[in-house]
A and B are shown apart, each in its own frame.
Chain A
């Protein structure tokens, strides 16, 4: 089986830096993805890490440690528009070697305050 744990809510000040953690338990691992979802909208892809280390895309960075089954999303220079829910996701082999099932965390609601 698989499970992902992430904080349910985070609040941060505009202009600050915030880190959203994700720990996972999977049978086989094929990478950790992050998605952003604004209220009333569809999830949109932010990043994907298959190997250990930090991936940077503008103000957003994502980190992975496979040995610790842990990753995080780092948001810098927070803006009001970053208020949204953030989901981590993994592909898991829990259903067997031929499984292509994707599992999402329950999401972290980020509130950016002035």
Chain B
């Protein structure tokens, strides 16, 4: 089954404690991206990747890091989380950036 998986689905952490949210896709897609979703603000792109070792900033990259060492995986790293990073995070992949994005189930992060 074609899918994008994210882990964990829910995470509560404290300010400053480094965390990683994993994302994996099994569709051999080249394009992957991370979004955060906040009430009233829609989906905002954090980072995207066009291929292995190729990443670039989206609209709201501050406080986040990503890496793309393998085509299927695109982890999101928060090295020093802060409460304003409390949000719902989605990973997505597609064959082309303009085309159909396949979204993961989401990760709800709370930073206290």
Contacts and interface: CB of A to CB of B under 8 A. Distances in A.
Interface size class for chain A? 20 to 34
Contacts of A100: 31, 48, 50, 56, 97
Q: Which of A33, A98, A101 neighbours the largest number of chain B CB atoms within 10 Å of its CB?
A: A101
Interface stretch (B17-25, B37-45, B68-76): B37-45
A33 B100 CA distance: 8
A42 B103 contact: yes
Contacts of A99: 56
Interface string B83-112: 000000010100001111111111000000
Contacts of B104: 42
A106 B40 contact: yes
A43 B98 contact: no
A110 B58 CA distance: 27
A102 B100 contact: no
Interface of A: 30-31, 33, 35, 42-45, 48, 50, 87, 89, 91, 95, 98-107
Given A43-B43, A101-B97, 6 more contacts: A30-B97, A44-B103, A87-B42, A101-B56, A101-B58, A107-B43
23 contacts: A43-B92, A43-B101, A43-B103, A45-B100, A50-B98, A87-B43, A95-B57, A99-B56, A100-B31, A100-B56, A100-B97, A101-B57, A101-B58, A101-B59, A101-B97, A102-B45, A102-B101, A104-B35, A104-B42, A104-B45, A105-B42, A106-B40, A106-B42
